[in-house]
Chain A
Amino acid sequence: MTDNGSGPAILVEGLTKSFGEVHALRGIDLSVPQGTVLGVLGPNGAGKTTAVRILTTLLLPDGGRALVEGRDVVREAAAVRRLIGLSGQSAAIQEELTGRENLDMIGRLYHLRKADARTRAVELLDQFGLTDAADRPAKTFSGGMQRRLDLAASLVGRPRVLFLDEPTTGLDPRSRLGMWDTIRSLVATGTTILLTTQYLDEADELADEIVVIDHGQVIAAGTAEELKSRVGGDVLEFAVPDRTRCADGVAAIAKVGEGEPHFDDETGVISVGVGGRGSDALIEAVRELDNAGVHTQGLALRRPSLDDVFLALTGHAAEDETSGKPKRGRRQGKKDQAKQDAKVSS
Chain B
Amino acid sequence: MTTAEITAPAPGPVSDEPSLLTRARWAISDTLIITKRGLLVWMRVPAYIVFTVIQPVMFVLLFRYVFGGAIPVSTPGGYVNFLMPGIIAQTAAFACFGTAIALAQELQKGVIDRLRSMPMARSAVLSGRLVADSLRMLVTILIIVAVGYAVGFRFLNGFGPAVAMIALATLFGIAFCVIAAFTGLAIGDEESVQAFGLIWLFPLTFVSSAFVPISSMPGWLQAFAYHQPVTQVVDAMRALALGGPQYPLEPSLWQSFAWLAGIFIVFIPLAVRAYRRAS
Contacts and interface: CB of A to CB of B under 8 A. Distances in A.
Interface of A: 2-3, 53, 56-59, 69, 71, 78-79, 81-84, 86, 88-94, 96-97, 101, 105-106, 108-111, 123, 126-129, 137, 148, 153-155, 157-160, 178, 181-182, 184-186, 188-191
Contacts of B279: 53, 58-59
B245 interface: no
A109 B8 CA distance: 21
Given A106-B114, A111-B29, 16 more contacts: A56-B113, A57-B117, A79-B14, A82-B15, A90-B108, A92-B113, A127-B2, A127-B6, A128-B1, A129-B2, A155-B9, A160-B9, A181-B3, A182-B3, A189-B8, A190-B9
A88 B113 contact: yes
A10 to B, nearest CB: 15
Interface stretch (B40-48, B64-72, B172-180, B219-227): B40-48
Interface residues of B, number: 41
12 contacts: A59-B279, A88-B114, A96-B44, A101-B40, A109-B30, A126-B2, A127-B6, A153-B114, A159-B11, A181-B3, A186-B6, A189-B7
B58 interface: no
Contact of B37 (A81, A105, A189): A105
Interface of B: 1-17, 26, 29-30, 33, 36-37, 40-41, 44-45, 108-111, 113-120, 124, 279
B14 A82 contact: yes
Interface-centre pick from B11, B30, B115 (highest chain A CB count, 10 A): B11
A78 B11 CA distance: 17
Contact of B4 (A91, A93, A185, A186): A185
Contacts, number: 131
A58 B115 CA distance: 10
A110 B115 CA distance: 10
B44 A189 contact: no
Contacts of B40: 96-97, 101
Contact of A190 (B8, B16, B114): B8
B14 A94 contact: no
A58 B116 contact: yes
B44 A137 contact: yes
